[in-house]
Amino acid sequence: MPELQIPESGARIDQKGIFSNSPVAAAHLGRARGCYDGCDFDLPVGVFPPQVHKISNVNLHVSTYNIHKGFSQFNRRMMIHELRDHLQVLGADIIFLQEVQGLHRRHAARFEDWPDEPQYEFLADQVWPEFAYGRNAVYDHGHHGNAILSRYPIVRAENQDVSHHALERRGMLHCEIELPEMTQRLHCICVHLALHERGRRHQVGAIIERLNREVPDDAPVVVAGDFNDWRNRAGKRLEEDLGLEEACRDHRGKPVRTFPSAFPMLRLDRIYVRGFRVRHTHVHHGPIWRRLSDHAALSAHLQLE
């Protein structure tokens, strides 16, 4: 399992060596507790909502998004530039991304405005000075995987191979992040689980085993990503075995619907937390967001317990 070290180690890493301990105010969402299924941030590209001072009892704003390798639904249009603009609209402190293209030589040759840098670095821009990338699927013309972008220092990162078979490569990206509000490191895990049930059972077991082995019982945890878990079996195991709480639920207590983004029917994307109280949660799938990816984005505002 390759480990991403801090820059002083001299190791080859997929993480930008810039550290910033200054908290940044998140965009005010202005909603009550619970998950909103409306069209948040339906603003023109480049026009951002007013920023407000961080409220003292809201410690962290996290988001998760399957970006579909920077293409719209059915791969009709490259959306990576629009995606960067709208991720900045979210104003999250930490973003969990799936289906991130680290390299694709064919797309680079086909599209004149294909970014020169990997997608995770292009999306981080000047907003998230820290990022880590876990390369999972590797092919002749490139590779893709999961990424975590952070406003705060990522002091350790490791990508664990949790593939159930060779035809569907999957990884679990585990980052330890230092936050000014916390004496302990925040443990963040970004995942994109298998399409079939047997593979998901194996991968959820790997998440449970890793957290039990690597993370102190009283440490704050966020596990987020695309779980492909329409039967909600993964969530029950994570709650029972690890004490994780599912942040984004609908009025019936079920995971919110996130796929497809144009008309969400399946409950695939999740944010699980431990050591936090969930203050606000949102599903972003309005007219603008549905053009960016086939998944809806999720956001959660968290308060440290």
CB atoms within 10 A of CB 199: 18
Higher pLDDT: 2 or 99? It is 99
Bigger pLDDT: 229 vs 36: 229
Q: Is the pLDDT of residue 231 over 70?
A: yes
Instruction: Flag whether the pTM goes above 0.85.
Output: no
Cβ neighbours of 27 (radius 10 Å): 19
Cα angle 60, 17, 27 (rounded to 5 degrees) comes to 25
4-18, 154-168, 187-201: range with lowest mean pLDDT? 4-18
Give the mean pLDDT of 68-78. Answer: 74
What mean pLDDT comes out for the span 118-137? 94
102: pLDDT confidence band, cut at 50, 70 and 90? confident
103: number of Cβ within 10 Å? 15
Strand partners, 283: 298
Indicate if the pLDDT at residue 19 is higher than 60: no
Task: Give the Cβ contact number of residue 43 at 10 Å.
Answer: 13
β pairing state of 94-104 and 269-274: unpaired
CA distance 99 to 193: 11
Choose between 50 and 155: higher pLDDT. Answer: 155
* Residue 3 pLDDT greater than 90, yes or no: no
Average pLDDT, integer, range 270-294:
92
pLDDT over 90 at 152, yes or no: yes
Residue with tokens 């029917």: 265
Mean pLDDT of 224-248: 93
The side-by-side arrangement of strands in the sheet containing 142-150 is 35-36, 276-284, 297-304, 60-66, 94-104, 142-150, 130-139
Name the 3-class secondary structure at 73.
helix
- What pLDDT score was predicted for residue 23? 34
Give the residue-averaged pLDDT of 19-42. Answer: 34
8 A C-beta contact, residue 147 and residue 170: no
pLDDT, position 298: 97
Mapped onto helix, strand or coil, the DSSP state of residue 232 is coil
Residue 8: what pLDDT?
39
